[in-house]
Amino acid sequence: MVAVLFDLEGTLVQTIEDDEEAVRTFRAGTREKLVELGVPRGELEGLVGATLMRNKAIDYVGKHFSKEEARKFHAEVDRFMKDYEMQWAENSRIFPDTLPALRKLESIGCRMGVVTNTSRDAANRELSKHGIGKFFEVVVTREDVRKLKPDPEGIALATRKLGANGFFFVGDLIHDLRAAEKAGGTTVFINRNPNNKERLRADYVVKSLIEVSDLIQHLRH
């Protein structure tokens, strides 16, 4: 059985990706929070994305913090993230091609899942708000894994839960594609921006989620 896995934010629903100022504020806030919690600034040097900073911090904490210090660190980071995530979830919008695409994939018998770097609460809010939770047998969030995409841990977990022997992963960021590639899947880059000419090393590039079902049907034959 081949599964179809999706990133959530930026792929199925729109949150802050188009707000460059919000992204910069979030990245800067993440860096300062990690430093405040005891991660040396030098450990984060050269890292731009908040996800990469958090993954690097997790490695540092695992090596240098006691169990109690690590517990407090993760709890504080979780509280920090939730403030942002729930705000983004409440303000999220569904992409026009999402529902038609999911219905089409369901109609051709695809089993589907979501692997997201956001929290369970935020993911549930977005899936519920936009009426798309019913399409997914598995939803893997940041609470389910140690490290976030581009680490393949979450995707590997989703495929195990689905019992899949292969998968397509649909995402909008290089983090998604790198994670899926490391996990041994077929990568599909959703490129809604006509000015973005970069393939990001994806196996396939689509302009709309509607194209995903056509792609899968074509590859099945």
3-state helix/strand/coil string of 152-214: CHHHHHHHHHHCCCEEEEEECCHHHHHHHHHCCCEEEEECCCCCCCCCCCCCEEECCCHHHHH
C-alpha to C-alpha distance for 112 and 39, rounded to whole angstroms: 37
C-alpha to C-alpha distance for 75 and 17, rounded to whole angstroms: 26
Angle at 131 between CA 78 and CA 50, to 5 degrees: 30
Domain boundaries along the sequence of the chain: 2-14+93-220, 20-90
C-alpha to C-alpha distance for 190 and 192, rounded to whole angstroms: 6
Q: What is the pLDDT of residue 145?
A: 97
Q: What is the pLDDT of residue 194?
A: 72
pLDDT tens track of the chain, all 221 residues?
A: 789 999 999 999 999 766 789 889 999 999 999 999 999 999 999 999 999 999 999 999 999 999 999 999 999 999 999 999 999 999 999 999 999 999 999 999 999 999 999 999 999 999 999 999 999 999 999 999 999 999 999 999 999 999 999 999 999 999 999 999 999 999 999 998 777 766 668 999 999 999 999 999 988 76
Q: What is the pLDDT of residue 195?
A: 73
Q: What is the pLDDT of residue 17?
A: 67
Q: What is the pLDDT of residue 209?
A: 98
Residue type, position 145, single letter? V
Q: What is the pLDDT of residue 16?
A: 77
Q: What is the pLDDT of residue 200?
A: 67
Bridge partners (DSSP) of residue 92 are none
The architecture that CATH gives domain 2-14+93-220 is: 3-Layer(aba) Sandwich (3.40)
Q: What is the pLDDT of residue 199?
A: 61
Contact 135, 101 (CB under 8 A): no
